[in-house]
Amino acid sequence: MVQAASSQSLSGADHWRARAANVLPAAGFGNFDPSMILARGEGSRVWDEDGNEYIDLLIGSGPMILGHGNPEVAEAVAEQMGKGLTFFTNNSAGIELAEEIVEAVACAEQVRYISTGGEADMYAMRLARAFTGRHRILKFEGGYHGMSAEALMSLAPQKLVNFPNAVPDSAGIPKSVEEGMVIAPYNDLGAVRELLDQFDGEVAGIIVEPLQRIIPPVEGFLAGLREEATRRGIVLIFDEVVTGFRFTYGGAQAYYGVEPDLCSLGKIIGGGFPLAAVAGRADIMAHFDKAKVGADGFALQIGTLSGNPVASVAGLKTMEILRRDGMYDAMAAKGEVLMSTYGDALGAKGIAHQIVGEPWLFDCVFSPRAIEDYRGVLGGDGDLAKAFNASMRASGILKADAKIYTHAALTAADMDQIQSAIHTAARAL
């Protein structure tokens, strides 16, 4: 009570930071720098509790691809809120959104909703085990698939061990989970084949981000995974929580031209509200239907807010807007300008760097070597990255530590300010 009272003498963000320190572990939600306390967002910009204004390249870690408070999305949400917030039963908006996902996403024959992308990845891995009767999952070092026990294996290891050994990223994970995971280097198809030979007949699924964080697949890598999974009866899972509807309307599987068996979706399909989904082949998705697969093959899945109608209408309207002519090309053009600006500004100062990613999602790694996997990113100069990002924030640009999300709300004035901030940050280094 004494600490809480002392916060009354503070103002703005300091007031809220003091209150957060009393009630939140590490004074935050666990997602981002807890010193950043945002008050509102509009279009391409956000304001913190001290009134500081930022151009937002974080966009809620991806969902706000149209910017904050898009009026068409807000109108659709307001209309649904007058009809009901959630039901637990089926609802027409959720069914319509599932139809649109099936129409848009190549691998999607059926859809099952959950509330977060991490849950979607967890259920996709569970479906792979249920479908194949096998127990191991192959994932890639540095790949992010949420916060399940399986996903928190070699997500961001600082201690690099020999493949395929898994390194837990969290306390509280049973040893048995570690033993069920096979860890491979991203973009190394030869290593994947060797590991699949080593664990022949034991691997249920391969889960992969088609674009791993910001690292693009090398030529033939995703197609090679598809070939190996088909040949060995393994379920290929694309984690498209980030990439779904971001590069092009059909997601990364359309952009790269490789179709998985299952995919996870999130972020954009909820239009800024908590909504995610597993989508894929009907024979695999059938394991959510006890009448079709029996009790032994049934994968139980229940969620209070699954298919929430408010999130569904927000997602439907967001996706409708993204289907309009030129939306993805316009975002790509902005991304290409920013990528080029990074290269020009840093190159002019002789600073070793790699611009990594696609125009819709990228960042800079301060390294002289090409980046093809997690260890390449880990080998970059983290101190330079922190200094660069700090300068960007001082110039009024909000971004994630290792990602820039290009989005539709960025204006010509925003682009000028971002480019100026990049040059300022390069000079500061």
- 223 near 229, Cβ under 8 Å? no
DSSP per residue over 382-428, as a string?
HHHHHHHHHHHHHTTEE-BTTBEE--TT--HHHHHHHHHHHHHHHHH
Q: State the Cα–Cα distance between residues 184 and 182, nearest whole angstrom.
A: 7
Instruction: State the maximum Cα–Cα separation within the chain, in Å, rounded to a whole number.
Output: 66
- 299 near 127, Cβ under 8 Å? yes
* Letter string b/e over residues 366-377, b meaning 16 or more CB atoms within 10 A of that residue's CB: bbeeebbbbebb
- 121 near 207, Cβ under 8 Å? yes
For 298, the token pair is: 């049934």
**Active-site entry in 48, 188, 239, 363:** 239
Give me the numbers of helices (H) and strands (E) for the chain, helices first please: 16, 14
**Active-site entry in 54, 113, 144, 255:** 144
**Active-site entry in 56, 188, 255, 267:** 267
φ/ψ (deg, to 5) at 335: -65, -40
Query: Is 267 marked active-site?
Result: yes
Q: Is 175 exposed, middle or buried (0-12, 13-18, 19+ CB in 10 A)?
A: exposed
Query: Is 290 marked active-site?
Result: no
Q: What angle do CA 394, 400, 402 make, to 5 degrees?
A: 110
- 74 near 313, Cβ under 8 Å? no
Q: State the Cα–Cα distance between residues 101 and 279, nearest whole angstrom.
A: 8
DSSP symbol at 212: B
- 371 near 377, Cβ under 8 Å? yes
Strands 38-42 and 45-48: antiparallel
- 311 near 303, Cβ under 8 Å? no
Query: Is 329 marked active-site?
Result: no
Catalytic positions, written as ranges:
144, 239, 267
